[in-house]
Structure 1
Amino acid sequence: MDDDRDFRFSPRPNRAAEIRWRPWGEQAFEEARRLGRPVLLSLSAVWCHWCHVMDETSYSDPRVIAAVNQHFLPIRVDNDRHPDVNRRYNMGGWPTTAFLTASGDVLTGATYLPPEQMLESLARVKAFSDANRAQIVALQSERAAAGDGAARARLTAPMLGRETGLETIDGEHGAAGDIPVRVALQIVRAFDPLHGGLGVEPKFPQPDVIGFLLAYGSLRDEAGTPEGSGQSGSSVPASRALEVVRTTLSGMAGGDLYDAVEGGFFRYATRRDWTVPHYEKMLEDNARMASLYLEAAVLASDHDLGDAESYRRVAGGTIDYVLERLRQPGVPAFGGSQDADEHYYLLDAEGRSGLPAPFVDATVYVDWNALAARALLKGAYVLGRPELTGHALGLLGHLHATARHGEVMAHFVPPGGAPARGAPLLGDQAATATAFLDAYEATGDRVWLRRARTLADWACAHLCAPDGRLVDRLTTPGDSAGLLAQPVPALDENAAAAEVLLRIAAFTGDSRPREQALGILAA
């Protein structure tokens, strides 16, 4: 990761580059130890409005520039390119402004800090570090001596008994382990009955959450029990779950969150009624949203979900946006995001036609492109557009050919470059394997099944903790600075990996992937 010096600042005038930023890596932390300085960690994103504002204000203030360069070791990390760092250090949003010891432990932090508040924070952190230097040095020595052994020890608790694990996984109705019911209850309690979605404002689309309710409502009966199970008891009725889905899908598509001119969804809305959005568009979000509306279109005819044709129109418009705006010249892959440009997006089609489109980050993120391939494959079937299958297979073939290190997927490929160096991430292996399995289902070509199996086998061999869970990244000497030395078994990525293993077991008849999946779920 030390080679990632592609620091990306606001496209508007700023002086942020005058701060002597270092890339994340053990070399930077060693320099901080040698100089006896605390670390200033800036987590930013190329699409992030407030990251740009901080570049233009706080990081352009000559007093801030001087204080940071003189008294701190500044490290800048791109959130999209290094989600493992973001997972451990994010302070609640972007930009994240975190202050660390030279061992990578967090002293304090915040999100956006205007210039005066930034100056005050710099002074307070410096004073604290100076006053507690002996304790901080002792902590650094303790960390260096322990290595990552202490972190691994936290994952060595005995696995749950197989009986306990399987009882919980099966979701026996009325038992404490009926996880789907408990999750559905939490979602329904947060539902906004007036406009759909969860909570009040700001309001994010949360396609995975709504997708869960869609599956729940289609598989359970009016008592909230699995259809055909013969169980009884009170729960979240299927009709209630589907009401949440229907209201939310209609609200999002009918509000300003959906771009009625160019298609695609903005990242989130600042108002409860899905108006006044933040105008950045993310490949990840749009791939997930397209898949959600496609699934709703499929299920609408057999469930009370509303107009299937309207869902198809939204899904098709979202897929067309991805194909037309995010596809990269000369390669069958998609860029990661498109900048927020309020002036541009407030215009109608005629007004936009005379202006350049907002900047697209040409970085090819492997996990997000895998999500896009899945949406394309599903769209080919639901929308009756077979050409989308060709786009999806071309994309997956391109990822397999250009975004690997040996048998494992890299996280991203920079514009015109080679696959990024750095520790392999579980999220990329799980997302790509899932897309490969979708390609196998769509084509029957076993090459996709073999490729998925290779990624799943690698993850189980290299990322499995003693308790059966999979950690989020490969911890390797020289590439695990700060809290990266501490394995994190992310829940969503473990669930995705377990699904991959269960599908492989079903396709091959091999029981071992199923046992591995059950081990993950039981842990």
Structure 2
Amino acid sequence: MRFRSAVLISVMAITVSGGASGPTPQAALHWQAWSDGAFVQARAEHKFVLLDLEAVWCHWCHVMDDVTYRDPAVVRLLNQKYVLVKVDQDSRPDISNRYQDYGWPATVVFAADGSEIVKRQGYLPPRLMSSMLQAIIDDPSPGPSVEREATFRPASGSAISAGLLTRIETLYEKQYDKPIGGWGFVHKYLDEESVEYAMRQGARGNREYAKRAADTLHDATNLLDPVWGGMYQYSVGRHWTEPHFEKLISIQADELREYSLAYAETQNPEDLKAAQSVHRYVTNFLTAPSAGVFFVSQDADLHDGQENEAYFKLQDAGRRAQGMPRVDTHVYSRENGWMIAALCDYYAASGDGSALLQAQRAAAWIVVHRSLPGGGFRHDDVDAGGPYLGDTLAMGQAFLALYNVTGDRGDLKAAAATGQYIAAHFAPAVAGGGFVTAQKPTDAAYRPHPDRDENVAVVRFASALAVASGEERFRAAAAEAMRYLAAESVALLPLSAGVLLANEDMTEAPIHVTVVGPAASANVIALHAAALRSITSHELIEVRDPADPAPLPTSVTYPALKQAALFLCTAHACSSPIFRGEDVRAKIQRAELQAR
């Protein structure tokens, strides 16, 4: 996801010295931002529009800039017949979601009316690029990479049918790489949702899935930077020991959360150590010192387009002597929301109070600097195409995570406001059509579309918010998103764990942990801390003070006791009162076994 100081490049000219290796200064390429103006220009000049969708942290994007876009034949063809648009995909979630299947760099060529002609994935060397550009000039009819969009048919209901659920579970089973470990068979990385689903089933007694989760978490520690901490994005090839060295805040948030949940479940010190590594890296490298908010990424390359394996084998002093890979210092609401929520889970599992302070500080900054009227959030200081669903959704998840670990009613109120904003601004135009990525179309030829991962997150967030707030309207939003996910054309796409988790969160009540007693008493604080240390991925934790003049609604009647007590409730039953913190973990684990 990202890296270069100027993320959305409005105008960029590439100029190099003349000679055999590159174009003359007069042959510079002139890039512009994505806008309707690019297509207006293309129509007026009888040209095509070429989109270079890059990630500013991406090695092969740098190679494209330094090699392909400096090749004389490529430059000549582009200047003759193409309007050039360059976009950092982190800066435009709507365009990123539209072309995410093509990886970065993605090269898309449009006719002047906005219709697609060619979509290409990854690095294109000069000869291939010039051949493609000339072929489009000779015959601009759409190529085989452009398929007609299929008619979408939403599911008839908001729950996945039993037969379809079995097929999805079978796919999930097949997606595990038994010889090597991990989910997926090309690059090796820690897929957050796949590991989380396996951990959840493991807590319910499936020993094989518990082992798969534990093995994957162990194998993925090969991707941790032993010097600075933090996790690299993935390993090249079907093994865990050849990392690509970029570090994205999205990866740090995912892995911080999963290692924290794993430590809370098993108390494996390796999981805590991994979580601490990620936390240390984010604190030292991706945190704005003055504001406390989180940056987007750190580049894999010290020098654009040059392999950097030798650099990352050095210790701290050796690295710093050569220089520092660039950090993308943009501050996006979405990425901050992801990290805030992950820090809450890390605080809960580890007891590290500094993580909670970081989460609260970042949330406060985003509220001041990125809020929209009515409960929404901008992506950046100024959005070219927003607002986007992902920013408000991630901040809603962040507020709900803060409420879950602190009980601050203000955080619950803020989470509810984001839920209302999502329903008002991103709901599908057609029932079951899925919540859309953005309010505005990216261009005249493309209407806003739903994104599968975002709708998984809507289901999980809205379902949890309905339980925490007692407001059924949020359950209706979850059901609407679930109807999109339950459509076969969506549900059967890889990877399967996100849909399985959404289905469980929609149809099964979370473990409800309630501490009853005076909020400031030592016993209540101790029981609450014990609940946090045993946090699970599908759980609501709250403190109910009998002196609260306006308690949140609940269907459970708690007995009046002379001392503080903790109660565990599932969809089927509530526990007897628990008075000692040392008994809480075993009780929560027993409740997980009985949850389904």
TM-score by length of 2: 0.71
User: Which residue of structure 2 lines up, in the alignment, with residue 362 of structure 1?
Assistant: 329
Q: Name the CA shift for 1:80/1:449 in 2 (closer, same or farther; >3 Å).
A: same
Q: For residues 381-403 of structure 1, give each alpha carbon's deviation from its aligned partner in whole angstroms, at most 9, with x where no partner exists.
A: 21121121111011011111111
CA–CA distance in 2 between the matches of 1:311 and 1:292?
A: 9
Is the 8 Å Cα contact of residues 55 and 88 (structure 2) preserved in structure 1? yes
Whether 1:240 and 2:233 are equivalent positions in the alignment is no
Displacement of 1:73: 1.1
Q: Name the CA shift for 1:369/1:387 in 2 (closer, same or farther; >3 Å).
A: same
User: Which residue of structure 2 lines up, in the alignment, with residue 292 of structure 1?
Assistant: 258
Displacement of 1:50: 0.4
- Aligned to 1:393, which of 356, 360, 370? 360
SS of the equivalent of 1:191 reads coil
User: Which residue of structure 2 lines up, in the alignment, with residue 228 of structure 1?
Assistant: none
User: Which residue of structure 1 lines up, in the alignment, with residue 345 of structure 2?
Assistant: 378
User: Which residue of structure 2 lines up, in the alignment, with residue 508 of structure 1?
Assistant: 469
User: Which residue of structure 1 lines up, in the alignment, with residue 478 of structure 2?
Assistant: 517
Displacement of 1:298: 1.1
User: Which residue of structure 2 lines up, in the alignment, with residue 480 of structure 1?
Assistant: 442
Q: Judging by fraction of residues, say which structure has more helix.
A: 1
SS of the equivalent of 1:39 reads strand
Whether 1:489 and 2:482 are equivalent positions in the alignment is no
Q: Name the CA shift for 1:360/1:462 in 2 (closer, same or farther; >3 Å).
A: same
SS of the equivalent of 1:192 reads coil
Is the 8 Å Cα contact of residues 67 and 125 (structure 2) preserved in structure 1? yes
Q: Name the CA shift for 1:353/1:183 in 2 (closer, same or farther; >3 Å).
A: same
Q: Name the CA shift for 1:337/1:216 in 2 (closer, same or farther; >3 Å).
A: same
Amino acid at match of 2:212: V
User: Which residue of structure 2 lines up, in the alignment, with residue 347 of structure 1?
Assistant: 314
Whether 1:196 and 2:181 are equivalent positions in the alignment is yes
Q: For residues 294-333 of structure 1, give each alpha carbon's deviation from its aligned partner in whole angstroms, at most 9, with x where no partner exists.
A: 11111115xxxxxx11100000111110111111232111
- Aligned to 2:419, which of 456, 462, 473? 456
TM-score by length of 1: 0.81
Is the 8 Å Cα contact of residues 366 and 403 (structure 1) preserved in structure 2? yes
Whether 1:499 and 2:442 are equivalent positions in the alignment is no
SS of the equivalent of 2:102 reads coil
Is the 8 Å Cα contact of residues 195 and 247 (structure 1) preserved in structure 2? no
CA–CA distance in 2 between the matches of 1:9 and 1:187?
A: 46
User: Which residue of structure 1 lines up, in the alignment, with residue 78 of structure 2?
Assistant: 68
Amino acid at match of 2:437: R
CA–CA distance in 2 between the matches of 1:403 and 1:500?
A: 20
Is the 8 Å Cα contact of residues 233 and 243 (structure 2) preserved in structure 1? yes
- Aligned to 1:41, which of 37, 40, 51? 51
CA–CA distance in 2 between the matches of 1:427 and 1:280?
A: 22
Displacement of 1:116: 1.4
SS of the equivalent of 1:513 reads helix
Amino acid at match of 1:251: D
Displacement of 1:515: 2.4
SS of the equivalent of 1:405 reads coil
Whether 1:278 and 2:247 are equivalent positions in the alignment is no
Q: Name the CA shift for 1:372/1:7 in 2 (closer, same or farther; >3 Å).
A: farther
Q: Name the CA shift for 1:6/1:279 in 2 (closer, same or farther; >3 Å).
A: farther
CA–CA distance in 1 between the matches of 2:368 and 2:13?
A: 31
Displacement of 1:90: 4.7
Is the 8 Å Cα contact of residues 260 and 271 (structure 2) preserved in structure 1? yes
Q: Name the CA shift for 1:380/1:64 in 2 (closer, same or farther; >3 Å).
A: same
User: Which residue of structure 1 lines up, in the alignment, with residue 287 of structure 2?
Assistant: 327
Q: Name the CA shift for 1:199/1:433 in 2 (closer, same or farther; >3 Å).
A: closer
Whether 1:260 and 2:226 are equivalent positions in the alignment is yes
RMSD: 2.9
User: Which residue of structure 1 lines up, in the alignment, with residue 514 of structure 2?
Assistant: none
SS of the equivalent of 1:354 reads helix
Displacement of 1:118: 1.2
User: Which residue of structure 1 lines up, in the alignment, with residue 543 of structure 2?
Assistant: none
Report the number of matched residues.
459
Displacement of 1:160: 4.9
Displacement of 1:407: 3.2
Which deviates the most, 330-339 or 508-517? 508-517
SS of the equivalent of 2:87 reads strand
SS of the equivalent of 2:240 reads coil
User: Which residue of structure 2 lines up, in the alignment, with residue 165 of structure 1?
Assistant: 158
CA–CA distance in 2 between the matches of 1:402 and 1:458?
A: 18
User: Which residue of structure 2 lines up, in the alignment, with residue 471 of structure 1?
Assistant: 435
Q: For residues 169-199 of structure 1, give each alpha carbon's deviation from its aligned partner in whole angstroms, at most 9, with x where no partner exists.
A: xxxxxx314x3x5444323323233432134
State the 4+ residue runs in structure 1 displaced beyond 4 angstroms: 6-10, 12-17, 408-411
Is the 8 Å Cα contact of residues 455 and 481 (structure 2) preserved in structure 1? yes
Q: Name the CA shift for 1:68/1:429 in 2 (closer, same or farther; >3 Å).
A: same
SS of the equivalent of 2:139 reads helix
CA–CA distance in 2 between the matches of 1:263 and 1:9?
A: 36
CA–CA distance in 1 between the matches of 2:405 and 2:389?
A: 24
User: Which residue of structure 2 lines up, in the alignment, with residue 141 of structure 1?
Assistant: none
Amino acid at match of 1:455: T
CA–CA distance in 2 between the matches of 1:437 and 1:469?
A: 26
Is the 8 Å Cα contact of residues 282 and 337 (structure 1) preserved in structure 2? yes
CA–CA distance in 2 between the matches of 1:274 and 1:7?
A: 39
CA–CA distance in 2 between the matches of 1:6 and 1:186?
A: 43
Is the 8 Å Cα contact of residues 410 and 421 (structure 1) preserved in structure 2? no
- Aligned to 2:403, which of 425, 440, 447? 440
Displacement of 1:25: 1.1
Displacement of 1:408: 5.2
Displacement of 1:218: 1.9
CA–CA distance in 2 between the matches of 1:409 and 1:451?
A: 10
Q: For residues 409-457 of structure 1, give each alpha carbon's deviation from its aligned partner in whole angstroms, at most 9, with x where no partner exists.
A: 44533xxxx3434221112221110111111122222221222112211
CA–CA distance in 2 between the matches of 1:374 and 1:204?
A: 21
Q: For residues 15-73 of structure 1, give each alpha carbon's deviation from its aligned partner in whole angstroms, at most 9, with x where no partner exists.
A: 89931112111111111122221111111011000000010011112332222122111
Q: For residues 220-241 of structure 1, give each alpha carbon's deviation from its aligned partner in whole angstroms, at most 9, with x where no partner exists.
A: x4xxxxxxxxxxxxxxxx1121
SS of the equivalent of 1:250 reads helix
CA–CA distance in 2 between the matches of 1:263 and 1:7?
A: 36
CA–CA distance in 2 between the matches of 1:419 and 1:482?
A: 21
CA–CA distance in 2 between the matches of 1:435 and 1:388?
A: 13
SS of the equivalent of 2:44 reads helix
Which deviates the most, 117-126 or 510-519? 510-519
